[in-house]
Amino acid sequence: MAEPVTSQFMVFLYTILTGALAGFLYDVYAGIGHVIRLNKLGTLLGDFLYWFGATILVYALLLRYNQGEVRLFVLMGLGIGAVFYFRLSRHRMRKLVIKTIEWLIKLINWLVIILLFPIRILYIILTFPFKVFSLAFGKIRCIAINILKRLVPAPIKSLYHRWGKWYSRVINKLKRHK
């Protein structure tokens, strides 16, 4: 059955918007890659995930608006939408995406600091007597530290060390970015 020209025009318009959306999603991916500085394997995995996700998105939208029919004007619409997006707003959007990601990282860092603050205060309060005591009695300090090490279960210590190494790596990457 022949489709009216208006419905084909609307499908063409939707494919242009879908192409622009795919371009925007690429800028989000590129912004994330720029901020966290992906290595070759990370870039390879990120490229695969982007194209896999973009393909699913495009075909899902085509299925919704065009019953999944792929015609020449659909492919042209996707290309035109991507070209329009990249020509008109790529640089502004990428800068905005990068700034947003950096802001989110700062917010998460700030929240982690706030959430860990009571634990740090408790740690200082609990260890202060031992520190004062150890200043006066060096040998007793070693014994107290050994007792504390034995009181903290090994899985908690290893989790704390792994998280600390990962967190310091992320912070160092962010500092190198600036």
Measured N-to-C along each axis, helices 154-177 and 90-136 cross at an angle, to the nearest 10 degrees, of 130
Instruction: Count other C-beta atoms under 10 Å from residue 101's C-beta.
Output: 16
**Is the confidence at residue 103, as pLDDT, over 90?**
yes
**Cα distances (angstroms) measured from residue 121 to each of 22, 24, 72, 129:** 47, 44, 65, 13
d(CA 84, CA 61): 19
Average pLDDT for 12-29: 90
Tens-place pLDDT, residues 167-178: 778 878 777 765
Lowest-confidence region among 84-98, 112-126, 134-148: 134-148
For position 158, what pLDDT does the model report?
72
7, 74 contact by CB (below 8 A): no
Measured N-to-C along each axis, helices 138-151 and 90-136 cross at an angle, to the nearest 10 degrees, of 130
**Is the confidence at residue 134, as pLDDT, over 80?**
no
Domain ranges of the chain: 5-88, 106-177
Question: Would you call 39 helix, strand, or coil by DSSP?
Answer: coil
d(CA 55, CA 28): 16
Category of 2 on φ-ψ map: left (φ > 0), alpha (ψ -120 to 50) or beta: beta
Q: Which residues contact 42 (CB under 8 A, 6 or more apart)?
A: 33, 36
Tens-place pLDDT, residues 62-74: 888 888 788 888 8
What predicted TM-score, i.e. pTM, was given to this entire model?
0.60
